């Protein structure tokens, strides 16, 4: 299928969808992150200070926001789970570097995001027609 920007296909819808998913990630991170911390506070607990827990919690929160948005946009489960994987895989892949002292906890969180964003783009390019088509909102 050829890209046709005039008919809702092409690079602008693709890029817009990428930005929408980044926004959904941040909403998921903010809303669920606050909910987790509030729930822990109500139980008299603190969020664990371990960077592994913070990185994985952030990846799950962002994935949840993205999953909700992608399902709302009409994406199937295969594409949705691939995209969720692009949130979780960087966190998991970087943990050995943290455990061996190659990176710090702060670097883990930064690198998680640095790797995540291009990985999302690669996942989207894999299904270019799906992400470059008209919005299903």
Predicted pLDDT at 57: 92
Q: Which of 130, 6, 3, 124 is nearest to 76 (CA)?
A: 130
Positions in the chain short of pLDDT 50: 1-7, 135, 137
> What are the distances in angstroms from CA 87 to CA 21, 72, 83, 91, 134?
11, 19, 7, 7, 24
Domain boundaries, the chain: 51-130
The model carries a pTM of 0.80
């Amino acid at each position: 299928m050829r890209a046709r920007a005039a008919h809702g296909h092409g690079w602008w819808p693709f890029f817009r969808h990428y930005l929408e998913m980044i926004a959904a990630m941040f909403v998921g991170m903010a809303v669920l992150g606050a909910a987790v911390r509030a729930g822990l506070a109500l139980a008299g607990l603190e969020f664990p200070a371990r960077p592994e827990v913070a990185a994985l919690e952030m990846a799950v929160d962002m994935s949840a926001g993205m999953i909700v948005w992608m399902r709302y946009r009409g994406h199937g489960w295969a594409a949705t789970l691939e995209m969720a994987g692009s949130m979780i895989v960087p966190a998991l892949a970087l943990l050995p570097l943290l455990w061996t002292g190659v990176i710090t906890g702060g670097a883990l969180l930064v690198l998680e995001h640095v790797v995540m964003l291009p990985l999302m783009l690669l996942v989207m390019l894999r299904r270019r027609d799906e992400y470059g088509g008209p919005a299903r909102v």
